[in-house]
Amino acid sequence: MSPFYYFGLDGGGTHSRLAVCDQSGSVVKTAMGGTTNLYGANKDEILKNLTSLFEQVHSYTPLLGGCIGSAGLGRAREQELFREILKKVLPCVPVYLCGDGEIFLVGALSGFEGYGLISGTGSLALSRTMDGNIKRAGGYGYLLGDEGSAYWIAHQALIEAV
Q: What domains sit in the chain, N to C, each tagged with a CATH number?
A: 1-98 (3.30.420.40), 112-162 (no CATH)
Q: What is the pLDDT of residue 94?
A: 97
What is the reported pTM? Answer: 0.82
Contacts of 121 (CB under 8 A, 6+ apart): 142, 146, 149, 151
Q: What is the pLDDT of residues 4-23, one digit of tens each?
A: 999 999 998 889 999 999 99
Contact 42, 34 (CB under 8 A): no
**CA 92, 93, 98: angle at the middle one, nearest 5?**
130
Q: Which helix (H) or strand (E) holds 59?
A: none
Q: What is the pLDDT of residues 32-41, one digit of tens each?
A: 999 999 988 9
